Amino acid sequence: MAAGKEIRTQISSIKNTQKITSAMEMVASSKMKKAQDRMLASRPYCEKISNVIGHVAYAHSEFEHPYMNSSEKLQRIGIIIISSDRGLCGGLNTNLFRHILKQVVEYQAKGVEFDICTIGKKATSFFKNSGLNVKYVLTDLGDAPHFNDLLGTIKVMLDGFDTGETQQLSVAYNKFENTMVQAPTIMQLVPMVAGESDNMNHYWDYIYEPDAQEALSALLVRYIEALVYQGLVENIACEQSSRMIAMKSATDNAGDMVTELELVYNKARQAAITQEISEIVGGAAAV
C-alpha cells in the first residue's frame, strides 16, 4: 500500500496548511473590525474639512492659493501610492498597481512623466523595477498608522508641487466599499478639483487670521494630509478584509482537496483489501 501512505502524508500536509489559513482568517477578521473602526473614526474630520474646503472654494478671497487653481502645463505628475506591507491578501495590491499602470501608460503617451512615492513594502518592491522615478519610500507603518508618520512624505511631495517640479499630485489607494468590494482609486489632491456650486453665490469672504495666505495654506495642507491619512486607513481596512476573504477561500479549498484525497485514499485501501482477499482465496483454491 505504497500509494496509500503517500496520499496520507499529502492529506496531513494539506490539513496543516488549512490550520494556518484558518488561523490567518480569524486574525484578519478581528483586525478588520479594528481597522474599520479607525476608518470610521477618521471620517468626520475628512468630511468636515471637505465641507470647509467647499466653502473656501466659493469665498471670494483676495488671495488665490496655488493649490486651488493651477493652469500650468502638465509635464510631471506626483503620485502617492498606498499599498500593504504584507502579502496574502488576494488581488488587492495587484489590482491597484494595474489600475495605476494603466493611467501611467495613458499619460506617458502624452509625454507626461511621473514622480512616485510608495507607502508599504508591496508598492516599493513592485515599482522599483517599473522604470518610474521612485522618489520616496515609507514602509512598516503597521496596522494603526499615526498621523505623524505621513507628514514628512506629504511635505516632500507638496514641496515638489510648490517648486513647480510636478504640476499635479494624486494619491492612489484601495477605497473601502464594503467587506467584499475594494475599489482601486486614484484621487487628485492638487490642484483641487472644484466641487459643485451651491447657493452661496453672493459676494462674501472670510476674515483671515493671521492673514489669508497663512490661514489658507494651513487649511489646505491639513486637507491634503487628511485625505492621504483617510486613504491609508481605508487601505488597511481593505487589506484586512481582502485577506480574510482570501484566507477563507483558501481554507475552503483545502477542505475540498482533503475530501477528494480521502475518497482516493479509501478507494486505494479498498482495492488493496480486495486484492489481498482474492489472493488468499486464489491461494486456498490452488491447495
- Interaction pattern, residues 14-43, with other proteins; x per rule: CB under 8 A: ------------------------x--xx-
C-alpha cell at 215: 490661514
Q: What angle do CA 184, 139, 33 make, to 5 degrees?
A: 60
Q: How far is the CB of 8 from other proteins (least distance, A)?
A: 36
Q: How far is the CB of 134 from other proteins (least distance, A)?
A: 6
1 CB neighbour count, 10 Å cutoff: 15
Which residue's CB is nearer to other proteins, number 26 or number 151? Answer: 151
68 binds other proteins (CB under 8 A): no
231 CB neighbour count, 10 Å cutoff: 24
Q: How far is the CB of 141 from other proteins (least distance, A)?
A: 8
Strands of the sheet with 76-82, listed across from one edge: 133-138, 113-119, 76-82, 168-176, 182-190
280 binds other proteins (CB under 8 A): no
197 binds other proteins (CB under 8 A): no
226 binds other proteins (CB under 8 A): yes
152 binds other proteins (CB under 8 A): yes
C-alpha cell at 205: 469672504
The two beta strands, 168-176 and 182-190, are antiparallel
95 CB neighbour count, 10 Å cutoff: 15
Distance in Å from the first CA to the final CA of the chain: 27
Select from 84, 93, 153, 242 the one that contacts other proteins (CB under 8 A): 153
Select from 136, 179, 213, 252 the one that contacts other proteins (CB under 8 A): 136
Select from 30, 125, 197, 275 the one that contacts other proteins (CB under 8 A): 125
65 binds other proteins (CB under 8 A): no
Compute the distance between CA of residue 43 and CA of residue 41 in angstroms, rounded to an integer. 6
8 Å CB contact between 143 and 153: no
Select from 48, 98, 102, 267 the one that contacts other proteins (CB under 8 A): 48
Compute the distance between CA of residue 182 and CA of residue 225 in angstroms, rounded to an integer. 22
At a CB cut-off of 8 Å and minimum separation 6, what does 242 contact? 89, 90, 91, 92, 174, 182
Which residue's CB is nearer to other proteins, number 71 or number 148? Answer: 148
Residues lying near other proteins in the complex (CB under 8 A) are found at 38, 41-42, 44-45, 48-49, 51-52, 55-56, 59, 117-118, 121, 124-125, 128-129, 134-140, 146-148, 151-153, 155-156, 159, 204-210, 214-216, 218-219, 222, 225-226, 229
